[in-house]
């Protein structure tokens, strides 16, 4: 029981810092995504395709979270956007404090969107608010259509589901109708896009939706 109490305290402390991050973003009219998924579902590839689509329009800054290595930050840096890598050294999720620290290391002046790529983990990041505008969960078709029911926390807390690697559908025993139904059973208001970073399917639709949301939620409509 004592462990549960401590966990609650950890979450309360995290939520307090997340609120300060949220104020920081609101003051600067920065729309913030927290991208979550299992390892290898394609978060970084989605981010790369998104940066390509948004180039010349919205100004994007990126925070990369990884257990180990700076591979992802190096991939993202090729797109000429400001990026900070957080290495958690074994910890299984980002916390609001780590994001707060990263914000002190980057210039977010004029940024329209901050994209935070979380650690690859479909369980733990669900409980840690970073101060984001919304969570985006990426699920690969290769993971199977039962995953929303097996890992409901993440799908309940997300606003968007990107069903990724749809180019692999012909080779898999994954039923997209069942996957969608399972996801909507957990969270009926989930906005779903089917994407492929190989064929670019669905990427333009996802980015159009993202632009609309950035314009609607921040006051910076004229920037875009």
Check residue 143 for interaction with a copy of itself (CB under 8 A): yes
Instruction: Specify the long-range contacts of residues 181-187, CB closer than 8 Å, at least 24 apart.
Output: 182/145, 182/146, 182/147, 182/148, 182/149, 183/139, 183/148, 183/155, 185/148, 185/149, 186/148, 186/149, 186/152, 186/155, 186/156, 187/155, 187/156, 187/158
Size of the site for a copy of itself (CB under 8 A): 38
Out of 18, 58, 119, 162, point to the residue binding a copy of itself (CB under 8 A): 119
Nearest to 14 by CA among 6, 156, 147: 6
48, 195 Cβ separation under 8 angstroms: no
> Least distance in Å: CB of 138 to a copy of itself?
12
Binding mask 72-91 for a copy of itself (x = CB under 8 A): ------------------xx
> Closest CB to a copy of itself among 30 and 137?
137
66, 150 Cβ separation under 8 angstroms: no
Check residue 16 for interaction with a copy of itself (CB under 8 A): no
Q: Candidates 17-25, 51-59, 130-138, 164-172 — which segment interacts with a copy of itself by CB under 8 A?
A: 164-172
By CB under 8 A, name the binding residues for a copy of itself: 3, 6, 10, 38-41, 66-69, 71, 90-92, 119-124, 127, 140, 142-144, 146-147, 149-153, 165, 167-168, 171-172
């Amino acid at each position: 029981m004592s462990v549960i109490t401590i966990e609650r305290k950890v979450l309360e402390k995290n939520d307090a810092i997340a609120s300060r991050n949220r104020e920081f973003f609101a003051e600067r009219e920065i729309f913030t995504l927290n991208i979550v998924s299992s390892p290898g579902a394609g978060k970084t590839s989605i981010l790369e395709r998104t940066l390509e689509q948004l180039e010349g329009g919205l100004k994007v800054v990126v925070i990369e979270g990884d257990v180990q290595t700076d591979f992802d930050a190096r991939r993202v840096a090729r797109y000429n956007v400001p990026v900070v890598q957080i290495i958690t050294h074994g910890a299984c999720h980002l916390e609001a404090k780590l994001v707060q620290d990263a914000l002190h290391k980057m210039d977010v002046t004029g940024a329209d969107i901050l994209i935070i790529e979380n650690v690859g983990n479909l369980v733990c990041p669900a409980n840690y608010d970073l101060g984001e505008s919304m969570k985006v969960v990426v699920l690969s078709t290769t993971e199977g259509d039962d995953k929303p029911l097996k890992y409901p926390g993440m799908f309940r807390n997300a606003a968007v589901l990107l069903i990724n690697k749809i180019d692999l559908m012909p080779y898999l025993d994954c039923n997209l109708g069942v996957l969608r139904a399972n996801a909507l059973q957990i969270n009926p208001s989930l906005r779903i896009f089917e994407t492929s970073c190989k064929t670019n399917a669905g990427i333009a639709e996802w980015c159009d939706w993202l632009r609309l949301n950035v314009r609607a939620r921040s006051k910076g409509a004229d920037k875009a």
